[in-house]
Amino acid sequence: MGQFLQEIMEQPQAFERLLGNYVEKEHEGLIRTKYEFAKGVRNVIFTGMGSSYFAAHVAANFLNENGIAAFACEAGELLHYNIGGIRNNDLLIAVSQSGKTIEVKEIVKKLKGKITVVGVTNNEDSYLGRNCNILLPMYAGQEKMTTSKTYTNTIALLLILAETLVDDLSNTRKEELYQIPQFMQNLLTDWEIKIDPIVRFLENIPFLHLVSRGPSYATVMQSSVILKEAAHIYAEGLSGASFKHGPIEIVDSRHGAIVFAPRGRTLELNIKTAHELVNLGSSVVLISNTDESYQNNNLYQFTLPVVDEYLFPLLDIIPIEFLIVKIAQKKGLEPGALLVTQKGIVEE
Q: Read off the pLDDT of residues 176-217 as tens digits, 9 standing for 90 and up.
A: 999 999 999 999 999 999 999 999 999 989 889 999 999 999
- At 14-23, the pLDDT tens digits run 999 999 999 9
Burial 229-239 (b: 16+ CB within 10 A, else e): bbbebebbbbb
Which domains does the chain possess?
3-183 (3.40.50.10490), 190-330 (3.40.50.10490)
- Which pTM does this prediction carry? 0.95
Is the confidence at residue 339, as pLDDT, over 70?
Answer: no
**Is the Cα dihedral 5, 339, 51, 220 positive or negative?**
negative
Percentage, residues of the chain above pLDDT 70: 97
Q: In what order do the strands lie in the sheet with 256-261?
A: 234-239, 207-212, 256-261, 283-288, 299-303
d(CA 61, CA 49): 18
Helix (H), strand (E) at residue 268: helix 267-279
User: For position 26, what pLDDT does the model report?
Assistant: 86
Q: Which of 95-99, 144-148, 245-249 has the lowest mean pLDDT?
A: 144-148
In the predicted model, what is the mean pLDDT of the chain?
95
- At 44-98, the pLDDT tens digits run 999 999 999 999 999 999 999 999 999 999 999 999 999 999 999 999 999 999 9
Is the confidence at residue 343, as pLDDT, over 60?
Answer: no
